[in-house]
Amino acid sequence: MSYLNFLRETAEKAGNVVCMGLDPVMDYLPARLGYRIDEIIPNFFEKLFDVMSNRYLKPAAFKPNQGYFIKHDVPLQGDFSGSHALSKTIKLCREYFPHTPIILDYKRGDITTSSKNYAKEGFERWVVDAVTISPYMGGDSISPFLEYTAKGQGTYILNRTSNPGGKDFQDLILQDGKPLYLAVGKKIIEWSVKYPGTGAVVGATSIHELKVLAELYAPHNIPLLIPGIGSQGGSAKQVMSVLKKAKYDTRLARINSSSGITHPWKKSGHIPENWESVCADELEALIGDCTIA
């Protein structure tokens, strides 16, 4: 199955386009989940997935951010507990929510030979459905990833990101008077002709740019990964409205919230006793905002 059809089918089955970001932060995890990193993090997600399953709350994708896991590795001491935690978390996603897309957020991008190694790591070693990459080094840098897209997996290219510093380069005006992010967007469309399923990362916090790019991408079936919802300030309702007005196929979008679902108590610092239900409530509300007709 092509990645485009996989996105459409899983969105229809879930009834929404929510992407649940999996970015575990030890300071915000409840107590009594274990003693080792590769116990605590997977136990957290297993308890949460169990409540989600019992309440029939199914997102349309999961997005583990590799950096939140592997920072716990201490390779020179033979400690790979972060990598083990990521492995267990991916397996839990497959167990509780089979056939739901898993997007590994690792933002790679290097010279061709190095990118081949990174592509193999993401698609073959972590066995995920899609990855995120950077376009900064150009076509030969991303082509090893797109070769997997030709086989039915997805590649999301950073386009207009949700972080404040994104404007430092992405909004730069080129000689033709157009911003750099728009030039990248047109290149993504060009690459997608040969590799359907080539997608773009466009932040919900840059709503004007999202509108421009959604209108650009709508006729070309470019999958969108849209971070920035929740703690970063983006609005899911506003994003859905922009996509629909652009006549964009919302089934190809995945609107991501991470800590807003898994650590909604981050600002208060108080972890409630019924934390699983609190997380599930946040997910349910986001699903309500991202329901597809």
For the chain, which residues make up each domain, given as ranges?
A: 3-289
**Digit-coded pLDDT (tens) for 15-38:** 999 999 999 999 999 988 999 999
Q: What is the pLDDT of residue 234?
A: 75
- Predicted pLDDT of residue 288: 97
189-205: average pLDDT: 96
**pLDDT, averaged across the chain:** 95
User: For residue range 36-86, what is the model confidence (pLDDT) as tens digits?
Assistant: 999 999 999 999 999 999 999 999 999 999 999 999 999 999 999 999 999
Residue 138: is its pLDDT beyond 70?
yes
Q: Please say if the pLDDT value at position 103 is more than 90.
A: yes
Structure tokens at 21: 């970001």
Report, as an integer, the average pLDDT of 8-18: 98
Q: Is the per-residue pLDDT at 261 higher than 70?
A: yes
* pLDDT of the residue at 229: 85
Output the CA angle 41-258-213, nearest 5 degrees: 145
Residue 148 confidence (pLDDT) above 80: yes
Which of the four pLDDT bands, split at 50, 70 and 90, describes residue 233?
low
Reported pTM: 0.96
Is the pLDDT at 231 greater than 70? The verdict is no
Burial class of 45 by CB neighbour count within 10 A (0 to 12, 13 to 18, 19+): buried
Reported as a pLDDT band with limits 50, 70 and 90, residue 172 is very high
Cβ(96)–Cβ(50) under 8 Å? yes
Catalytic pick from 47, 91, 107, 266?
107
* pLDDT score at 216: 98
Q: Looking at residue 214, what is its pLDDT?
A: 97
Give DSSP secondary structure letters for the chain.
Answer: --HHHHHHHHHHHHTB-EEEEE---GGGSPSSS-SSHHHHHHHHHHHHHHHHHHTT---SEEEEBHHHHHTT-BGGGTB-HHHHHHHHHHHHHHHHSTT--BEEEEEE--SHHHHHHHHIIIIIIS--SEEEE--TT-HHHHHHHHHHHTTT-EEEEEEE-SSGGGHHHHT-B-TTS-BHHHHHHHHHHHHHHHSTTEEEEE-TT-HHHHHHHHHHHGGGT--EEE--BSTT-B-HHHHHHHHHHTT--GGGEEEEESHHHH-TTTTT-PPPTTHHHHHHHHHHHHHHHTB--
Q: How many CA atoms lie within 13 A of 237 on its CB side?
A: 3
Domain 3-289, CATH = 3.20.20.70
> Cβ distance 171 to 128 under 8 Å?
no
| Cα gap 128→130, rounded to integer Å | 6
Is position 244 annotated as part of the catalytic site?
A: no
